Amino acid sequence: MTGKVGVVVFPGSNCDMDAYNAFGSVLDQKVELLWHKETSLNGVDIVVLPGGFSYGDYLRSGAIARFSPIMNEVVKFASKGGLVMGICNGFQVLVEAGLLPGALLRNASLKFVCRQVYLRTETAATPFTSGLEKGQVLKVPIAHGDGNFYADESALKSLEDGDQIVFRYSTADGEITRDANPNGSIYNIAGIVNSRRNVLGMMPHPERASEQILGSAQGKAVLKSVVQSLN
Amino acid sequence: MFKARIEVTLKSKILDPQGKAIESSLRNLGFTRLSKVRTGKNIDIVVDETEVDKAVELATSACTKLLANPVTEEYEGELFDASGKSVAKFSSPNSARSDAKVKS
């Protein structure tokens, strides 16, 4: 089955076309761009909130985008079990919208970090990682200034207990170390799902690692998993 | 008509890397008796209400809905009348800042 992927475009999104290309050209799916002012998801099966700097990151990253008209539909879609994937700024929008717990703070180094990192897959039991193995390491880029994941103790415990931590920053060998943590995220957390497991947020960019010419094609497995989970 | 001045800051237990960077710069300049630098943002808003209570309610609602993220931030606000006189104060529930002010 071929699914239809909708990529939301906020003013300031800048990885919308990367996602469009990865799902469309690389994975041969139907993709459409959904302008943030729209009030319908046009029957898409997967919603992608892309990377970028929606509304210039004013106030807090994602804080203003979460009130875009289309977000009402995204929240409804997610509450019915629809698959939603927030990458980078998309992750920030999802936590601001309350679809995922926690918050993304300024990087501990205060620097914008743009480089390849390694992620260890912490669970294959999500629609976004079903094609991966637990422990599998992926080389994927990050490019953010506000990626320092924070959650209070009880939220962290519930993420751990619920097997909701999906990716953690690691070494190439899959070791979780302080040096492998590019932004100060608590527990090296790079990506999480909600308790229903249909909403994923991750700071790294799998769509920007979907073809070898981009430096890594290892992110493709994440996008492929979510497409295949529609079958 | 009132003016609300709202200060949004990170909760005290959350690391403020900007504050740390400023603190270390101050130290380098010889300000060794200055410490615990915390940053925040200041938001001024005109509130179109005639009653103080309603104005406070409206400003508080803006804080909880948009201006502060309850996971990481807290807010303190002050309301001024047309002559610039302070007429009310409000803050996030359990705001720790007021009682943490002069702990040494």
Kindly report, residue by residue over A65-81, the tens digit of the pLDDT.
999 999 999 999 999 99
The pLDDT tens digits for A105-158 are 999 999 999 999 999 999 999 999 999 999 999 999 999 999 999 999 999 999
Cβ-based contacts under 8 A for chains A and B: 34
pLDDT value of residue B102: 41
Residue of A nearest to B72 (CA): A103
Name the residue among A157, A173, A161, A166 with its Cα closest to residue A94. A166
Tell which of A59, A67, A92 to mutate to test the B interface (max B CBs under 10 Å).
A59
The whole-angstrom distance between A80's CA and the closest CA on chain B is 24
Q: Is A174 on the interface with B (CB under 8 A)?
A: no
Q: Is A172 on the interface with B (CB under 8 A)?
A: no
The whole-angstrom distance between B93's CA and the closest CA on chain A is 17
Any idea which residue has 């909130």 for tokens?
A: A49
**What does residue A113 show for φ and ψ, rounded to 5 degrees?**
-115, 120
pLDDT value of residue B101: 42
Residue A213: beta bridge partners?
A: none
CA dihedral A190, A201, A120, A164 (to 10 degrees): 100
C-alpha distances (whole Å) from A147 to each of A202, B60, B74 are 9, 28, 20
DSSP E strand boundaries for A88-222: 103-105, 113-121, 137-144, 148-150, 165-170, 189-193, 199-202
pTM over 0.80: yes
Instruction: Give, rounded to a whole angstrom, the gap between the first and last alpha carbons of chain B.
Output: 40
Which CATH superfamily includes the segment(s) A4-228? Class I glutamine amidotransferase (GATase) domain (3.40.50.880)
What SS3 state is found at A61? coil
Q: Does residue A44 have a pLDDT over 80? A: yes
- The ipTM of this complex is 0.84
Per-position pLDDT tens, chain B of length 104: 999 999 999 999 998 999 999 999 999 999 999 999 999 999 999 999 999 999 999 999 999 999 999 999 999 999 999 999 999 999 998 776 544 444 33
- In chain B, residues with a C-beta closer than 8 Å to the C-beta of A99 are none
Interface contact A67-B66, CB threshold 8 A: yes
Name the residue among A155, A60, A64, A61 with its Cα closest to residue A102. A155
pLDDT value of residue A192: 98
- Which residues of A are designated catalytic? 88, 205, 207
Q: Which of A103, A109, A110 faces B71 most closely, judged by CB atoms?
A: A103
Interface contact A63-B71, CB threshold 8 A: no
Any idea which residue has 């180094």 for tokens?
A: A109
DSSP E strand boundaries for chain A: 4-9, 30-35, 46-49, 83-87, 103-105, 113-121, 137-144, 148-150, 165-170, 189-193, 199-202
**What does residue B31 show for φ and ψ, rounded to 5 degrees?**
-85, 65
* CATH code of the domain containing B46: 3.30.1280.10
Residue of B nearest to A185 (CA): B15
Q: Which domain holds residue B46?
A: 2-100
Interface contact A108-B14, CB threshold 8 A: no
Which is it for the CA torsion A57, A60, A64, A70, positive or negative?
Answer: positive
